[in-house]
Amino acid sequence: MTTSPHTQTSPADGAEPRWLNPEEQHLWRTFLRMRQELDAQLARQIQAESDISLADFSVLVVLTDVPEGRVRVLELARGLQWEKSRLSHHLARMVKRGLIDRAECSEDGRGSFVLITDAGRRSIEAAAPRHVELVRTLFFDPLTSEQVTQLTAISERILGAMQGCPSLDPEN
């Protein structure tokens, strides 16, 4: 019988866990350390050199990626993979600082929109050049062109395996 990664037996099913071998364990722990260190360095840099946090930057990136600079709150939560309560609290702080506005949706009356303000646009435009330079320095410069291609393929494959996995859906 063939199983997908999402139907593998788990210890809850009474089966023995599929423990990582030493090479896999080393890779996994190295990946976690790399991701944590990358996130920490990016957060420190953006906080030290701009008036926004890395979380603010993430919200503003989504808003600058859409032509009208506005997105539904639920769509933003899904895109950022944030829980609704985290997003709600964070958006309230951003509204107070003038980075975004919120508007009711006149089409259905249930949802609301998040809109980037001129101040929010100025903030991300000021932070982005230094941020992308640090991303390039820390993430891309150590890699060859071939490694970038390989890492892209690997990342897409892993993301593809996650699609449709119920335990990974932030709505559950």
CATH assignment at residue 63: 1.10.10.10
36 occurs within a structural domain: no
Tokens of 162: 């996650």
Q: Are 42 and 136 in contact (CB under 8 A)?
A: no
Instruction: Work out the average pLDDT over 32-61.
Output: 95
68 occurs within a structural domain: yes
Q: Tens of pLDDT along 75-100?
A: 999 999 999 899 999 999 999 999 99
10 occurs within a structural domain: no
Expressed as residue numbers, the domain containing 79 is 42-145
Q: Structure pTM?
A: 0.80
In 77-169, the DSSP E strands lie at 100-104, 112-116
130 occurs within a structural domain: yes
62 occurs within a structural domain: yes
Q: Tens of pLDDT along 10-29?
A: 566 678 999 999 999 999 99
29 occurs within a structural domain: no
Smallest CA-to-CA distance from 102 within 113, 116, 90, 117 is with 113
Distance CA 72, CA 107 (A): 12
